[in-house]
Amino acid sequence: MTRKRGLLVALTFTSALGFNALVAAQTAGALPSWNDGKAKQSIIEFVAKVTKEGSPDFVPPAERIATFDNDGTLWTEHPMYTQLAFALDRVKALALQHPEWKGQQPFKAVLDNDLEALAAAGEKGLVELVMATHAGMSTAEFEAIVKDWIAKARHPRFKRPYTELTYQPMVELLEYLRANGFKTYIVSGGGIEFMRPMTQTVYGIPPEQVIGSSIKTQYQIKDGKPELIRLPEIDFIDDKTGKPVGINMFIGKRPIAAFGNSAGDQQMLEWTGAGSGARLMMLVFHDDAAREYAYGPANGLPDTKFGTFPQSLMDAAKARGWVVVSMKNDWARVFGFEK
Amino acid sequence: MTRKRGLLVALTFTSALGFNALVAAQTAGALPSWNDGKAKQSIIEFVAKVTKEGSPDFVPPAERIATFDNDGTLWTEHPMYTQLAFALDRVKALALQHPEWKGQQPFKAVLDNDLEALAAAGEKGLVELVMATHAGMSTAEFEAIVKDWIAKARHPRFKRPYTELTYQPMVELLEYLRANGFKTYIVSGGGIEFMRPMTQTVYGIPPEQVIGSSIKTQYQIKDGKPELIRLPEIDFIDDKTGKPVGINMFIGKRPIAAFGNSAGDQQMLEWTGAGSGARLMMLVFHDDAAREYAYGPANGLPDTKFGTFPQSLMDAAKARGWVVVSMKNDWARVFGFEK
């Protein structure tokens, strides 16, 4: 057999048998951090259906789009969104250059560690914090700042880098879907440029498959070198009704599977579910104060400003057949560092 | 040999030998519609360099991003942009529902086929035409309208569907790059939702690799069904300085190769060239009135409003080592339908 002939045989053989054999291999022993139950079963049945050639539910690989919220769906969002922790740390780091912040809200609240005053500043205050810490530098400079912070910052409860606070069952789910020909996307209310420096490493998701909120950037030539400068102006909010908008803008296809954990994800799941053919919509419910956090206010759990899961969302999930994942019952372990 | 063993051997064989063998196979006889010369040679040498493992110029596949302008780079843009022809046809199709257009510019100009009055309406008039014809329906409805038009419309000179007026050498270039592990993107001033219904078929580029100008969309529930409604409001102009902005937003990586044909592409080529490592920047120059069109005003060719190639761009190309492709000399054939 010549080398060329061998290659042809190998390619033919791989395409004819390889894919199905790989799929079968992936299903046995798949999702080891998921307990047996309705949630795990829903995933495996859905994937089996849409990947079975000749089945009425078969979906060609190019259409196997799965979208994932990030905060609270793929990694921890309590006691506050990781990006908010970043913004607060940046305010402190930049305070010396901004003596006026000592007397100016919401900056004063941050410097005083006064979370009540910070909450009182509301969304307007939050936007001010983001603009003061996320704008005014080039995209390359911002990326370096994020990378530096994420390497050094530690979660207040778990005392570990935030990148270790990804949910092991969800990382397995991402890998399982990709092994079955899916393209996995993040669709998050978080900042697109805040997430991109880490998504490839922690989730196996490349920058071009990350959709998020953004501020405007401007092309400038500085010392003969082109730069994109981050402006203190909101460009796009990728949350609630913004999620279907962002999905349509970036992907131009409707997902067949969508995963979220809060009211911010409802429209993404609605949009996904409104397509024809087999669909999988899933919500992670944080009911595990021992291993992670418990919040709702659905099902009588404590209310929260970070990743609110209202009773109306729980009711919508039941009415529409969306799968609600109980972190406590459905996950054998939460984090990869657990033994 | 068991089936499983066979699969393993096949996979190993393919990954060990397959890729390099494929590359070699792709280089001999590659780009058949390109004449031998500097342009073709630049492409082949660049691809050989960045794909050679162990070479200092090697670029891993995930970073092999190539961006292409569409109008005038991948398909004909004269006597006017295809999307403008679409907008004019839509005005005529909708005129019965808008009796007021008979006395109202720029619509009157369109209905009277008065290109002079249309030109006088300028950019403001153009935006009005786009809003009247591209907004006010759902994304699904717009897609259906575009598909219907593109199936029926014919180019005034070539009397063929616009989708046949793609440049055969560029289609081969797209395929050649993909065969060498590149991810190919369109980065066009044209409308993202106007291009997406055809790019997979004519260029092998899926919707998620199409970046373009856009109008805003709004998520609405109509009769219990979610829809994205196209609003008469500009969202993003993916032209000139907008191209690096769009590339950064959608891809989050800097291209290593970029292809354009007009002043609207200069910043994309600058942005691409400003990265470190091997780069390829290329401009198609329309100097072939016999087979297609000839326009500049660079090199003394006639000036144009569609795809202007000013002398300053020609000078910049020379100064920066960007390759200028002479359609007349570098392309053995222009269109796929030529014998």
Cβ distance B205 to B174 under 8 Å? yes
B120 near A CB under 8 A? no
Question: Are residues B14 and A7, on separate chains, in Cβ contact within 8 Å?
Answer: yes
What is the per-residue pLDDT for A28? 67
Q: Which amino acid is at B142?
A: F
The residue type found at B176 is Y
Record: contact B13-A3, CB cut-off 8 A: no
B226–A244 C-beta distance less than 8 A? yes
Contact A217, A228 (CB under 8 A): yes
Contact A271 B219 (CB under 8 A): yes
Whether residue A201 lies within 8 A of chain B, CB to CB, comes out as: no
Nearest to A208 among B13, B221, B251 (CB): B251
Q: Tokens representing B93? A: 């199709």
Structure tokens at A289: 């104060």
Whole-angstrom distance, CA of residue B111 vs CA of residue B113: 6
Nearest CB to B7: which of A21, A242, A252?
A: A21
Is B228 close to A244, i.e. CB distance below 8 A? yes
DSSP A185: E
According to DSSP, the β-strands at B257-260 and B280-285 are parallel
Using the predicted structure, report yes or no on whether residue B306 has a pLDDT greater than 90: yes
Percent of chain A beyond pLDDT 70?
92
Residue A26 has pLDDT above 90, yes or no: no
State mean pLDDT over B211-228. 97
Contact list in B for residue A249 (CB cut-off 8 A) is 192, 214, 217
CA-CA distance, A148 to B286, in Å (whole number)? Answer: 48
- Per the CB < 8 A criterion, the answer to whether A183 and A160 are in contact is no
| Mean pLDDT rounded to a whole number for chain B | 93
- The rounded distance, in Å, linking the Cα atoms of A101 and A107 is 5
C-alpha distance from B251 to closest chain A C-alpha (Å): 4
The predicted pLDDT at position A27 comes to: 62
CA distance B159 to chain A (A): 30
Q: How far apart are CA B230 and CA B221, in angstroms?
A: 14
- The answer to whether A219 faces chain B, any CB pair under 8 Å, is yes
Per the DSSP assignment, residues forming a β-bridge with A191 are A213
pLDDT of residue B143: 98
φ, ψ of residue A230 in degrees (nearest 5): -80, 120
R_g of chain A, CA atoms, integer Å: 22
Q: Can you give the pLDDT at residue A31?
A: 98
Measured between alpha carbons, how far is residue A154 from residues A145, A163, A276 in Å?
16, 9, 44
Share of chain A above pLDDT 90, in %: 89
Mark which residues 220-249 of B lie under 8 Å from A by CB.
Answer: 221, 225-226, 228, 241-242, 244-245, 248-249
Residue linked to tokens 């792709």 = B26
Average pLDDT, chain A: 93
**What whole-number distance in Å separates Cα of residue A106 and Cα of residue A111?**
9
Distance CA B64, CA B184 (A): 9
Q: Which of residues 63-92 of A touch B (CB under 8 A)?
A: none
Q: How confident is the model at residue A39 (pLDDT cuts 50, 70, 90)?
A: very high
A140 to chain B, any CB pair closer than 8 A? The answer is no
Q: Taking CB atoms and an 8 Å cutoff, what residues of chain B touch A215?
A: none
Rounded distance between C-alpha atoms, residue B120 and residue B179, angstroms: 46
Question: Tell me: the pLDDT tens digits for B77-120?
Answer: 999 999 999 999 999 999 999 999 999 999 999 999 998 999 89
Percent of chain B residues topping a pLDDT of 90: 89
pLDDT of residue B27 exceeding 70: no
The pLDDT tens digits for B33-69 are: 999 999 999 999 999 999 999 999 999 999 999 999 9
Q: Which residues are within 8 A (CB) of A125 and not within 5 positions of it... i.e. 6 or more apart? A: A105, A106, A109, A118
The predicted complex's ipTM stands at 0.91
Whether A62 and chain B come into contact, CB under 8 Å, resolves to: yes
What pLDDT digit, counting tens, does each position of B157-195 carry?
A: 999 999 999 999 999 999 999 999 999 999 999 999 999
**Cα separation, B46 vs B48, whole angstroms:** 5
Three-state DSSP state, A113: coil
Tell me if chain A has a CB within 8 Å of the CB of B6: yes
Closest CA to A292 of A321, A327, A320: A327
Calpha distance B111→B133 (Å, rounded): 14
CA distance A318 to A330: 17
d(CA A230, CA B201): 36
Torsion angles phi and psi, residue A294, rounded to 5: -130, 120
* B271 → closest Cβ in A226, A242, A251: A226
Chain B residues lying within 8 Å of A17, measured CB to CB = 3, 6-7, 10
pLDDT of residue B339: 74
* Per-residue confidence (pLDDT) for residue A8, from 0 to 100: 41
Query: pLDDT tens digits for A299-335?
Result: 999 999 999 999 999 999 999 999 999 999 999 999 9
Judge whether B270 is closer than 8 Å to chain A, CB to CB.
Answer: yes
Task: Tell me which of A27 and A133 has the higher pLDDT.
Answer: A133
| B1 interfaces chain A, CB cutoff of 8 Å | no
In the predicted model, is pLDDT for residue A3 greater than 50?
A: no
pLDDT tens digits for range A152-191: 999 999 999 999 999 999 999 999 999 999 999 999 999 9
* Burial of residue B28, with CB atoms counted within 10 A of its CB: 0-12 exposed, 13-18 middle, 19 or more buried: exposed
Instruction: Give how far B8 is from chain A: nearest CA, Å.
Output: 9
Burial class (CB in 10 A: 0-12, 13-18, 19+), B97: exposed
Query: In this structure, which amino acid lies at residue B269?
Result: L
pLDDT of res. A289: 98
Local confidence band at A12 (pLDDT 50, 70, 90 cut-offs): very low
Q: Can you give the pLDDT at residue B123?
A: 87
Distance from C-alpha of A167 to C-alpha of A336, rounded to nearest angstrom: 7
- Chain A residue numbers with beta carbons less than 8 Å from the beta carbon of B225 are 274
A192/B244 CB distance under 8 A: no
Measured over the CA atoms of residue B248, residue B251, residue B253 and residue B255, the dihedral's sign is: negative
